Amino acid sequence: MDSQRAGAVHGTAEVIILGAGPAGLVLGNILRAAGVDCVILERAARADLGTRARAGFLAANTVRVLDRHDLSDGLRRHGQPHSTCEFRTDGGRFRLDYASLGRGEGHTVYPQQYLVADLLAHYEGAGGRIRFAAEALAVRDADAGRTPPSVTVRTGDGDPVRWQGRYVAGCDGRHGAARRSIPPGAVRRHRIDLGVSWLGLLAEAPPSLDAVGYAVHSRGFAGHMARTAQVTRYYLQCARGTAAVDRSDAQLWDELELRMRAADHGPLHRGRFLQRAVFDLESDVLEPLRHGSLFLAGDAASLLSPSAAKGANLAVLEAELLADALFAALRHGSTDALDGYSARALTHVRQAQRFSQWMIRLLHDVPDLAPATDTVPTTVSDSGDRSEPSPYHTPLQRRPCLDTLRTSRAEQDWFAEQYVGV
């Protein structure tokens, strides 16, 4: 049997939501509370869902969205307010208390896996429908006019089953079925890749400083971000293609201490690394975020490099926008908000991408005039982990940016507004 085709309809819902990450679960919770019949189809097993450590920095607007829908209990109780970042360079270090700059807002640090667990508990507690170990294979008939869209789903060893709905919300991330199901040419994909890669590390160790740490070093960038009192995230810029396991924990701590200038500013709290993953700091966005009755939100809509901690925040914002638009269409027969969803969401995505590209350029030596839609050619240096300069390489342009950020109140206000804004 064609694995993408499935016969009789196995289940129906007004809205079929693919993926139970922040986007899918916020969407599901808002729709369910509004009395919209929806089902979430999630590829992972239930036990695996709440264990994926990723984001941690939630913007004030994200917290407001979660407050509005009564979804913020856990983060209000256990999240930690955060308001400071520290830049370390060969000229010394400086701090920005960003919550007292710009629009006067900070972050709440609350690990993404806890947020996902809270959202799931709330959704199921309220009677929301979800199927685990249900991998969407394809969305069919999204632009078929009178034929309702459906999703073929693999749920085990048997033949795929089919769910049918009025709308499908693709919240299944970058490699999910929603993106894959859009025919070539139906939407545009804009991609930015400045050739920078990071080794992301999760350390079983308390934070080493009471601030986000950004260290700019000739061997490459290093970063520090608190997660909980026992767990801290670190980043090390690495050459593209680096294997995540090619160095011991002790070697990685030595490299982190070197780049973060521990000799000048104090040692790091060491511990076992619980997670190591290399990822490329690329960003992309589809346009429009819709194909017929299939709508995209979260990482399925746009991928943001974690350089500016925006991905989960955008996912929550888009989920609320999409929920309101679907509700208006289903209950009031007005599709205006659905028709405007893509343009509204893209305004926020573009703003976030602009800032995240600015952060990449601030923290790394990257070409100044990189093409906007393709990979910048870089080669691997053996003098550290950063990529070797391309012909356009202009590291000197980065220093004035850092100096301006250190000295100009106007620049600091702009930074603070962008840093916490979505």
Q: List the x/- string, 72-111, binding to ligand RFL by CB under 6 A.
A: ----------------------------------------
Residue 21 touching ligand RFL (CB under 6 A): yes
CB-nearer residue toward ligand RFL: 55 or 326:
55
Per the DSSP assignment, residues forming a β-bridge with 136 are: 153
DSSP string for residues in 244-277? TTSS-HHHHHHHHHHHTTHHHH-PPPP--EEEEE
Q: List the x/- string, 189-218, binding to ligand RFL by CB under 6 A.
A: -----------x------------------
For the range 181-188, what are the long-range contacts, defined as Cβ-Cβ under 8 Å and sequence gap of 24 or more?
181/138, 181/139, 181/140, 181/142, 181/291, 181/294, 182/142, 182/286, 182/291, 182/294, 183/291, 186/143, 186/291, 187/286, 187/287, 187/288, 187/289, 187/290, 187/291, 188/286, 188/287
Count of residues in contact with ligand RFL, rule CB under 6 A: 34
Q: What is the DSSP letter of 69?
A: T
Among 38-46, 331-339, 345-353, 372-380, which window interacts with ligand RFL (CB under 6 A)?
38-46
CB-nearer residue toward ligand RFL: 285 or 309:
309
Q: Which of 86, 118, 135, 365 binds ligand RFL (CB under 6 A)?
A: 135
User: What is the closest distance, in whole angstroms, from the C-beta atom of residue 76 to ligand RFL in the complex?
Assistant: 18
Residue 149 touching ligand RFL (CB under 6 A): no
CB-nearer residue toward ligand RFL: 346 or 390:
346
CB count in 10 Å sphere of residue 402: 17
Contact yes or no for 346/369 (Cβ under 8 A): no
Q: Which of 56, 102, 160, 220 binds ligand RFL (CB under 6 A)?
A: 56
Write out the binding residues for ligand RFL, residues 327-356 only, by CB under 6 A.
Answer: none
Per the DSSP assignment, residues forming a β-bridge with 167 are: 15
Half-sphere exposure of 106 (CA within 13 A, CB side): 17
**What residues have CB less than 8 Å from 347, skipping those under 6 apart?**
none
Write out the binding residues for ligand RFL, residues 402-421 only, by CB under 6 A.
Answer: none
Residue 50 touching ligand RFL (CB under 6 A): no
Q: For Cα atoms 79, 83, 84, give the angle at the middle one, nearest 5 degrees.
A: 130
Q: Which of 27, 120, 171, 203 binds ligand RFL (CB under 6 A)?
A: 171
Q: Which of 17, 22, 330, 385 binds ligand RFL (CB under 6 A)?
A: 22
Q: Which two tokens stand for residue 70?
A: 């009564």
From CA 32, how far away is CA 84, in angstroms rounded?
Answer: 37
**Contacts with ligand RFL, residue ranges (CB under 6 A):** 18-24, 41-44, 54-57, 112, 135-136, 171-173, 176-177, 200, 279, 298-299, 306, 309-313, 315
